[in-house]
A and B are shown apart, each in its own frame.
Chain A
């Protein structure tokens, strides 16, 4: 017959002392372990949802500037893991400016379509694209985050600007 749950009898206490068991301390450890398991489940669920970047339903964020500059990006990214910004320039605009220190925090890997001109301007990097025929030019920037931390990155185009708030995890 099995012993009752949590039973403590003199014989049990003696046996526990004999092997160095400390039931009270062990119960505390078990409680902490269960809390730890709950924490691990939360981490896994949050990761699957995208709260730690690298895809997931909650990973993507959109920002829309008042005069038409729109950016879809990931608000949480991981260092050294490429992330993509999809940028819709305002109608008529053909130049996108990444304000400093954006290019120090995020190394551009690929720009689609390829810019016809790329130059340093006062306070940032300017990329000029072919004017879109009868529509809004759309640009895809693939970047590699290089510095962990909370970053605010300003993008400007055609007199409109928007601020991206991005957390880069180590």
Chain B
């Protein structure tokens, strides 16, 4: 019982904190971000397991965490409001080469981030050649070349 409650509490607190922290924090994992995630895992471990190092406790904690994750994924699939609240919506950042300053500022994305995504994913080097840049719910930036956008709108 204690292990299930601990795992549920840790899951919910992490869910809340990462939702508050926003998508920007996981948009592109840097070396420091990776180290930070490992440190967060280390800091979480005592709260999850206490001073109980038995295999049974570890199995119960892992099973509880995965079960909660499955339950939340089912809730998000079936309840659109929960999906919006828990995952958010895609956010348009650039349209036809024009950056949307307010959206970028609020999402903590700068032009360099968008151009980096454009170079990496589409080989685009100029902002004018971007049809759309979208911050996806998972934190990645999708870039649609201007030509593709025009073709999609004409279709």
* Interface residues, chain A, with chain B CB atoms under 8 Å away: 1-7, 11-12, 14-16, 18-23, 25-27, 29-30, 32-33, 36-37, 39-40, 80
Is B92 touching A37 in the complex (CB atoms < 8 A)? no
Whether, in the assembled complex, B140 has its beta carbon less than 8 Å from a beta carbon of chain A, the answer is no
Please measure, in the bound complex, the distance between the C-alpha atom of A29 and the C-alpha atom of B153, giving whole angstroms: 29
Q: Chain B: how many interface residues by the 8 Å CB criterion?
A: 27
- Chain B nearest Cβ from A4, distance in angstroms: 8
Which residue from B16, B84, B98 sits with its C-beta under 8 Å from A3?
A: B98
Measured between beta carbons, the chain B residues less than 8 angstroms from A7 are: 100
Measured between beta carbons, the chain A residues less than 8 angstroms from B102 are: 5-6
Is B20 touching A25 in the complex (CB atoms < 8 A)? no
- Chain B nearest Cβ from A98, distance in angstroms: 24
Which residue from A15, A26, A40, A80 sits with its C-beta under 8 Å from B132?
A: A15
Measured between beta carbons, the chain A residues less than 8 angstroms from B134 are: 19, 21
Measured between beta carbons, the chain A residues less than 8 angstroms from B90 are: 19-21
Known: A3-B98, A18-B152. 12 other contacts (CB 8 A): A3-B99, A7-B100, A15-B95, A19-B134, A21-B134, A22-B89, A26-B89, A26-B91, A36-B16, A37-B20, A39-B20, A40-B17
- Chain B nearest Cβ from A14, distance in angstroms: 8
Please measure, in the bound complex, the distance between the C-alpha atom of A20 and the C-alpha atom of B84, giving whole angstroms: 11
Binding site of A, secondary structure by majority: helix, strand, loop or mixed? helix
Is B100 touching A3 in the complex (CB atoms < 8 A)? yes
In the A-B complex, the 5 residue pairs with the closest CB atoms:
A36-B20, A5-B102, A30-B106, A3-B98, A2-B101
- Closest residue on chain A to residue B132 by CB atoms: A15
Please measure, in the bound complex, the distance between the C-alpha atom of A169 and the C-alpha atom of B98, giving whole angstroms: 51
Measured between beta carbons, the chain B residues less than 8 angstroms from A1 are: 98
- Chain A nearest Cβ from B139, distance in angstroms: 14
Q: A15-B132, A30-B106 are in contact. Are A2 and B88 (CB under 8 A)?
A: no
- Closest residue on chain B to residue A14 by CB atoms: B153
Please measure, in the bound complex, the distance between the C-alpha atom of A33 and the C-alpha atom of B23, giving whole angstroms: 11
- Closest residue on chain A to residue B99 by CB atoms: A2
- Closest residue on chain A to residue B5 by CB atoms: A170
Whether, in the assembled complex, B123 has its beta carbon less than 8 Å from a beta carbon of chain A, the answer is no
Measured between beta carbons, the chain B residues less than 8 angstroms from A80 are: 50-51
Please measure, in the bound complex, the distance between the C-alpha atom of A27 and the C-alpha atom of B100, giving whole angstroms: 14
- Closest residue on chain A to residue B81 by CB atoms: A25
Between B84, B92, B101, the greatest number of chain A beta carbons within 10 A of the residue's beta carbon is seen for: B92
A to B CB contacts below 8 Å, 20 in the list: A1-B98, A2-B99, A2-B100, A2-B101, A3-B98, A3-B99, A4-B101, A7-B100, A12-B92, A12-B95, A15-B92, A19-B92, A20-B89, A20-B90, A21-B92, A36-B16, A37-B20, A40-B17, A80-B50, A80-B51
